[in-house]
Amino acid sequence: MREIYELTQLDGKSLQERTLKLSEESGELAQAVLTVTKAPGSTYKNHSLADVREEAADAAIVALSILAQTCSSEAEFSAELDRLMGAKCAKWKSVLSQG
């Protein structure tokens, strides 16, 4: 996570630009998933599960970069990441246990 924080500080993108980049990466991930799952009209792209993994990593890095940009230090980024992941996973677990 240190590298993501450091690279975010070196990259001059605004929060708005980074968020738009996340939208782009999400679209690329969606296209790869549609191709792999043979959704109608998408099979011509010829993506594989390796492509899905690569696009998921790209989207995750950009999302983490957005979080990093909203923090004033690497320590705050790390703490917020741990706090938010814990809370969001607990919520997900709760939803799954209700089903």
Residue 42 burial (CB count, 10 A): 17
> Can you give the C-alpha Rg of the chain in angstroms?
16
Extents of the domains making up the chain: 2-98
pLDDT tens, residue by residue, 22-75: 999 999 999 999 999 999 988 788 899 999 999 999 999 999 999 999 999 999
Written as one string, the DSSP assignment of the chain is -HHHHHHHHH----HHHHHHHHHHHHHHHHHHHHHHTT-TT-GGG---HHHHHHHHHHHHHHHHHHHHHT-SSHHHHHHHHHHHHHHHHHHHHHHHHH-
| Predicted local confidence at residue 45, as pLDDT | 83
Which of these ranges, 8-12, 18-22, 44-48, 87-91, has the smallest mean pLDDT?
44-48
| Predicted local confidence at residue 43, as pLDDT | 76
d(CA 40, CA 35): 9
| Predicted local confidence at residue 41, as pLDDT | 86
| Predicted local confidence at residue 18, as pLDDT | 98
